[in-house]
A and B are shown apart, each in its own frame.
Chain A
């Protein structure tokens, strides 16, 4: 019974965690500009993320170490610096855009300009991190994120033509504006397969004390949670395709989107990355004085990330740039996973089977394609 409640909570967490500001922004932009045509990218992104989360969760449950710990131990500090720097920079950009998203949501509710909200949002987030536990951060923000179910209700009430939606799940090319189409495709993939999501998931497995007995829970949580979360992103795309696309409204600013957001998980993911990377003491369940460096990192980061929004940067532009940068950063965390998931010393009999390896190779190739394409697409379609 306890296991099933863990599964239910895990699935809810994944749903709320999946549909954050980047997914909402890019799915809505995709729906507004290309109708259902980009739905297949969401399917691809969701499946990829589910596989990566299942693997990093399995790695943590079996080895009792996070993916970041293993990256450092197996590949050495010199190599480890690359994913550390890349993931840190792109996750920091994502954090700034998440703060921007929350600030815009507050602007919509109150009429007070988003720039004024950036510092209070950062301070509130910091208080929750300082005073709260991992459970509060993980489940509390994810439950709030469930407000995004409004996208599912909205999409259903708009009565989409389901065969056309189904057709959008298969890859197709528009007759014109292809650079923009691929730019949005890369942005959607960047939003769906954010490294912070699976790094956070791997650290969360240890915070929750997962063992090999949790491998089933891990599989169901990663699978179902992402399928439901991806479903909500598809719903956002459908709503935009039916409301904005017929009127030829392009989403240039967040004011044109109604949205709900979650921010704290990414602050923790960044703090985990540094603390695990440098071998510091870390846990959101410890009092700040017991893991002072970990607490200092999230304190400094959340305040720094509020600065671009506080000085008036356009949150949507920041989100788009950070999603493309995220997509470009994927190879440094995806390719090493291929080696770790086949390491019998770490995973024993739980190493990847051939099907998982084929899927991971496909994701690795996709990540390299995203890295190569990100630069020209930012210039041509951004």
Chain B
């Protein structure tokens, strides 16, 4: 049991180190960032539809918009570092543009 205890403790310590390391590593690869941006674009579109049908409140829609704006700002900082070619850069720019458009559409819907 003591050996089991020590072994488990060691693995636990390694896990704790890895968890800390994974929280402050380099920016994610381009495909992951594009996925995240496109996910937020879809979230904005869904929020606009749901707000239009009265399913969600303006307070909640505004919070979703703020979260999307934060994601947009973060992506603007990091997506350039992950884009290694002109094609990559144009994909990234298009994705960010789509998100901006979706945020504007939600703003128009909520009147903010």
A361 to B5, CA, bound (A): 18
Which residues of B, 21-53, contact A by the 8 Å Cβ criterion?
21-23, 35-36, 38-40, 42-43, 45-46
Q: Does A24 contact B (CB under 8 A)?
A: no
Is there an interface contact between B39 and A252, defined as CB atoms closer than 8 Å? yes
Q: Does B80 lie at the interface of the complex (its beta carbon under 8 Å from any beta carbon of A)?
A: no
Which residues of A in the span 140-190 have a Cβ within 8 Å of any Cβ on B? none
Specify which of A248, A253, A255, A331 is in contact with B38 (CB 8 Å cutoff). A248
A249 touches B14 (CB 8 A): no
Contact between chains at A79 and B11 (CB < 8 Å): no
State the main secondary structure of chain B at its contact with A.
helix
Residue from the list A243, A325, A335 in contact with B19, Cβ < 8 A: A325
Nearest CB in chain A: distance from B79 CB, A: 15
Is B63 interfacial (CB-CB < 8 Å)? yes
State which size class the interface on B falls in: 20 to 34
Interface bin, chain A: 35 or more
- State the CA gap A107–B66 with chains docked (Å): 12
Cβ of A379 under 8 Å from chain B: yes
Task: Confirm or deny: B2 has a beta carbon within 8 angstroms of a beta carbon on chain A.
Answer: yes
CA A74 to CA B93, docked complex, whole Å: 63
Q: Is B108 an interface residue (CB 8 A)?
A: no
Task: Check A379–B5 contact: CB distance below 8 A.
Answer: no
Q: Is the beta-carbon distance between B2 and A78 smaller than 8 angstroms?
A: yes
Known A110-B59, A256-B43; contact A250-B35, beta-carbon cutoff 8 A: yes
Could you tell me if A247 and B46 are in contact, using CB atoms closer than 8 angstroms? yes
- With A247-B42, A375-B11 given, is the CB distance from A111 to B59 under 8 Å? yes
> CA of A289 to CA of B8 in the docked complex: distance in angstroms?
38
Nearest-Cβ distance from residue B64 to partner chain A, whole angstroms:
5
Which are the 8 A-B pairs with shortest beta-carbon distances? Answer: A247-B42, A250-B39, A82-B5, A111-B59, A255-B67, A249-B42, A375-B15, A375-B18
